[in-house]
Every structure is written in C-alpha cells, then in structure tokens.
Structure 1
Amino acid sequence: MSQNGIVLVASVSIFSDDKVLIIRENKPAAVNKWNFPGGRIEYGEDILYSARREVKEETGLDVNLICHYWYI
C-alpha cells in the first residue's frame, strides 16, 4: 500500500527452538542480502493476511502469527 510516498510493509520473524528463519533475497536491488520474510501490504489488505501471504510466497510455509506491532 502506498500513499503520499509512504509504503507499508509486513515483516515476519519466525522462531523455532533456538533458530530464526531468514531468507536470501533475489530482487535486483538486494541480491544475496539476508532478510526476514516480508513485503508490501497491498491496498485494502489486512496486515496479518499480508504477513502470512508474504511468508508463503517467499518460503512456502503456512504460518500462524503472534503479533507485535511497533510504530515509528
């Protein structure tokens, strides 16, 4: 979702025991950079739906989310 140059994104941290899931990006601007699964929230899309969608697209995993919101 973008309005007045602001882009909203969802980022997901996935923990299992003592491990954290990160992905290696393949987008031209970030090739081989490591990141948490995430991406843009589409217009009208629920934040949690967006977060689950991005994880599925980038990892193939279906996840249940525990939400923590941070506002900057």
Structure 2
Amino acid sequence: MRPNRVVAIADRMDQRPVAATISAVIRDEEILLVRRANPPDQVLWGFPGGKIDHGETIEAAAVRELKEETGIEASAVEVFTAVDVIVPGDDVRPQFHYVLIAVLCRWLNGEPVVGDDALEARWFDFEGLNRGDLAMSLDVAKVADQARMLAMRLDL
C-alpha cells in the first residue's frame, strides 16, 4: 500500500462519529439528568453517558457511565433511540460528532452524587423539561418523553 493512501485512510477514520451511550433513568415519575462539565454541551443539562469502550456492549457502557457520573446503580432495559450531536469546527470538519445511543435503565439503588464529567446531577419532573426554562442539550425533552412512553409500556 502506498504511503499517501495510508494517510488518506487514516484521515477518513479520524472523521468517523464516536459511539456513546446516554442513560434514561426514571424513578417516581422523574428522570435523572446531569449538567455536563465538559464539551460538547458544557454546562447544559443532559443524560448521563459517555463513550463506549472497545469490546463493551451498549448496555454495559450505559450502566457503567451512569455509575461513574452519578453513583446511581441501574440495570439496562432496552435501547430505544439514537441522537446525533454534531458540533461545527473551524474548518469543514465538525469539531465533535457523537452518535448517542439511548438506553432505558431501571433504577436499582442510590441518590445522584456528582462524579466524573458532571457539575450537577438530579431528578427532574417531566413537565419541567417541557417548560423551556432549563438549559438542555438538543433533544433531551424529546428523548425523555420517548423513555417515559417506553417505561409506561413496559410497566417499569
């Protein structure tokens, strides 16, 4: 293989989106959110989550990231949607491109305690998400509503 072809392949590989999970945890008609400490979406409220490690399942990553960010113990129930987060960069390439895979999780134990990558963590009622006075990442209210409907259907 020619050296310039190797560089071209490496450049394309660098442009691939990063797969990450977000955990939708519902307890007593409230949903758990964290205020992000790091880009993208720094200081905005969103779901706990993070990158999927090589060889790790989506569900395992969701449960692990939830525990790391909030101290909450949960079990993964079902993958239910995916959301693109594309942050424009200075040139033609995006600065960030994540594919966030949403996992409905069943709360087992714990109260939110700020861990890595979060400034705050707390439970929110669903109506509060739709009022528009909470600074949230894109589609948080929409994904929360989808999680709520799925949880009701599954009788969680």
| Structure number with higher helix proportion | 2
- RMSD over equivalenced CA pairs, Å: 2.1
User: How many angstroms apart in 2 are the aligned matches of 1:25 and 1:18?
Assistant: 23
Moved more, 60-69 or 14-23: 60-69
Q: Is 2:48 aligned against 1:63?
A: no
Aligned residues: 70
Whole-angstrom CA distance in 1 between matches of 2:39 and 2:62? 22
Residues 27-36 or 46-55, more deviating? 27-36
Segments of structure 1 that go 5 or more residues without pairing to the other structure are none
Show CA shifts across 1:22-64 (max 9, x none). Answer: 0011114433110001111011111111111100110011111
Post-superposition, which runs of at least 4 consecutive aligned residues in structure 1 deviate over 6 A? none
Q: Say which of 63, 67, 72 aligns to 1:52.
A: 63
State how far apart, in whole Å, the 2-side matches of 1:71 and 1:31 are: 20
Counterpart amino acid of residue 68 in structure 2: E
Query: Which 5+ residue runs of structure 2 have no aligned equivalent?
Result: 1-11, 84-156
- TM-score, scaled to structure 1: 0.81
Deviation at 1:6, TM superposition (A): 2.2
Percent identity over paired residues: 31
